[in-house]
């Protein structure tokens, strides 16, 4: 495993190993101990979009492990693939740093970076997927429910990058995912077929949120307007009416159902303030686990890279 670009490229065993390592390192750091395995190593962090969680948690994770990180805005380097080709950025960075993480619009950009970089490349969100997010999510589910096997997640909202990554991780780790989206905003059938080819009957699609939540142990949502879709905001808000997670929808769900959201949350749209703040919400544990998962991911990828002699 050189790169971490998409859950569908990982084997179940690799994902389980990363989850185990996340748990071990989380315990270690909570006990006040450290693991300085990345001393002398630097991570380049390229962002085409805004970020709170991803930027902060990756930077803190590198510091925790004894390494350093450099945050690069697109304008700092004249745009990714604009001032110079992506393949040149990948090869130049490979001469300076030990890993690249990138948040881009096009998924192809991270694929291209990985193809030409001699060092690990981590997908920190693209229009197509958000693999670090869903690994933190399954870590959180494991902690709260004590298992992943057989857990049913109801995802209510846009069939977007987060929904797609959830579909892949559910299939790899023996969970079920029911996706409820309005017509025209469903998760694409290619991704559903792909997930179901890893494990039959993993993903089910519906246009009825009340139906989707009835057997759920976890209800999950994300913004209706992803980064880059700002111009569609008014139309989307109208089209997603009835797909918000609120107290009314929760009447259809089992008592004690856990509530998740990758954040940032737009209260009053995809989720109500009351649900975010409710006792069943595990949203902030989920946000914390970005740090614990990514610390494990960096240890795994950047120490393997060290063994290759850089």
Could you list the residues that contact ligand NVA (CB under 6 A)?
Answer: 125, 160-162, 222-223, 226-227, 262
Question: Residue 204: beta bridge partners?
Answer: 178
Closest CA to 50 of 228, 222, 260: 228
Set 53, 98, 130, 295: catalytic member: 130
Which CB atom, from 119 or from 135, has the smaller least distance to ligand NVA?
135
Active site residue 133: yes
Set 290, 292, 294, 295: catalytic member: 290
Under rule CB under 6 A, residue 129 binds ligand CP: no
Which CB atom, from 78 or from 228, has the smaller least distance to ligand NVA?
228
Which CB atom, from 134 or from 253, has the smaller least distance to ligand CP?
134
The option from ligand NVA, ligand CP, none interacting with 52 (CB < 5 to 8 A, set by class) reads ligand CP
CA distance 157 to 55: 25
Active site residue 103: yes
Separation in Å, CA 187 to CA 147, 198, 241 = 26, 17, 18
- The answer to whether residues 219 and 156 touch, using CB atoms and an 8 Å cutoff, is yes
The option from ligand CP, ligand NVA, none interacting with 221 (CB < 5 to 8 A, set by class) reads none
Under rule CB under 6 A, residue 306 binds ligand CP: no
Q: Which two tokens stand for residue 249?
A: 């929808």
* Helix segments in 97-206, DSSP class H: 107-116, 131-145, 161-172, 189-198
Under rule CB under 6 A, residue 263 binds ligand CP: yes
Closest CA to 121 of 91, 78, 165: 91
The option from ligand NVA, ligand CP, none interacting with 162 (CB < 5 to 8 A, set by class) reads ligand NVA
**Binds ligand CP (CB under 6 A): choice among 179, 262, 271, 302:** 262
Under rule CB under 6 A, residue 51 binds ligand CP: yes
Under rule CB under 6 A, residue 125 binds ligand CP: yes
Active site residue 222: yes
Which CB atom, from 29 or from 266, has the smaller least distance to ligand NVA?
266
Closest CA to 274 of 242, 252, 296, 245: 245
Under rule CB under 6 A, residue 133 binds ligand CP: yes
* DSSP β-ladder status, 176-180 and 258-261: unpaired
The option from ligand CP, ligand NVA, none interacting with 142 (CB < 5 to 8 A, set by class) reads none
**Binds ligand CP (CB under 6 A): choice among 11, 20, 34, 52:** 52
Set 103, 236, 261, 292: catalytic member: 103
Q: Which helix (H) or strand (E) holds 59?
A: helix 53-64
Q: Which two tokens stand for residue 212?
A: 């989707």
CA distance 129 to 2: 18
Closest CA to 161 of 203, 139, 132: 132
CA distance 296 to 300: 6
Residues that bind ligand CP (CB under 6 A): 51-54, 125, 133, 262-263
Q: What is the set of active-site residues?
A: 103, 130, 133, 222, 262, 290
């Amino acid at each position: 495993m050189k790169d971490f670009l998409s859950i569908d490229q990982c084997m179940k065993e690799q994902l389980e190993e990363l989850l185990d390592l996340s748990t071990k390192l989380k315990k270690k750091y909570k006990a006040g101990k450290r693991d300085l395995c990345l001393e002398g190593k630097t991570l380049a962090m390229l962002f085409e979009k805004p970020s709170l969680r991803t930027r902060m948690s990756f930077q803190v994770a590198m510091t925790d492990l004894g390494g350093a990180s450099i945050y690069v805005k697109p304008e700092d380097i004249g745009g990714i693939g604009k001032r110079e080709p992506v393949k040149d950025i990948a090869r130049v960075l490979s001469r300076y740093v030990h890993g690249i993480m990138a948040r881009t619009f096009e998924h192809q950009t991270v694929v291209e970076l990985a193809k030409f970089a001699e060092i690990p490349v981590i997908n920190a969100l693209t229009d197509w997927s958000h693999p670090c997010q869903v690994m933190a999510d399954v870590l959180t589910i494991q902690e709260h429910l004590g298992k992943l096997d057989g857990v049913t997640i109801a995802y209510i909202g846009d069939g977007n990058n987060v929904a797609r990554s959830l579909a892949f991780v559910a299939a790899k780790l023996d969970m079920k995912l029911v996706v409820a989206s309005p017509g025209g905003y469903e998760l694409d059938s290619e991704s559903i077929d792909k997930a179901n080819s890893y494990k039959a009957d993993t993903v089910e699609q519906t246009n009825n949120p009340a139906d989707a939540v009835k057997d759920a142990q976890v209800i999950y949502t994300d913004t209706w307007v992803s980064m880059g879709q700002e111009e569609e905001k008014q139309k989307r808000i109208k089209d997603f009416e009835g797909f918000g997670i609120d107290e009314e929808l929760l009447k259809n769900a089992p008592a004690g159902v856990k509530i998740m959201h990758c954040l940032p949350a737009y209260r009053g749209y995809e989720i109500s303030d009351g649900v975010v703040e409710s006792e069943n919400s595990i949203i902030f544990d989920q946000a914390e686990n970005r740090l614990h998962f990514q610390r494990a991911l960096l240890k795994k990828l950047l120490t393997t890279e060290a063994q290759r002699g850089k």
